Amino acid sequence: MNRQILFTLAISIGFSGIALAQDEDAQVVVINTDKLQFLYTDAEGKKMDGFTIKAGKPVVIKFANTSTGAPQPHNIIFCKPGKDGAITQAAMAMMADPTALEKGYVPDSDDIFAHSKLLQPGESEEIKFTVEEAGTYPYLCTFPGHFVLMKGAMTVE
């Protein structure tokens, strides 16, 4: 039997033009960037290299670039299980693309199922999606070189 990972996606206007109805039962996850280091942090400022959600339940990722050191842009990319290596390779290849910045350093890949735009310090964005199948889904920043430290895993149970 051919099993496919099914994703129901709706990303804030600006990504795909699809709107997700507000779901009071949505799981809300806050992901920020560290003020000085290339790390994702939780709402309390602690390093966040993973979190767990429930399969089939809507998720709202509240992502904010809270950097205060050097003015570094950041994004967050959610990809299919085991595809983070391919995404980092595609992101590195974008360094030769003169349009990479306007593309937000988001590689064109079917392995990416949700992402933010490239956020400057002080900017934030909500990403909304539902993952139907249990597994471990990597997330990372694809701005050049950031993925070495800015990465984690979303566990879907």
Q: How far is 69 from 72, CA to CA, in rounded Å?
A: 8
pLDDT, tens only, 8-22: 333 332 333 333 435
Q: How far is 143 from 103, CA to CA, in rounded Å?
A: 11
pTM of the model: 0.83
Q: Please report which residue ranges of 19-145 form alpha helices under DSSP H.
A: 84-93
- Average pLDDT of span 101-124: 96
pLDDT category of residue 23 using cuts at 50, 70 and 90: low
Q: According to the model, what pLDDT value does residue 41 have?
A: 96
The answer on pLDDT for 97 being more than 80 is yes
Q: According to the model, what pLDDT value does residue 87 have?
A: 97
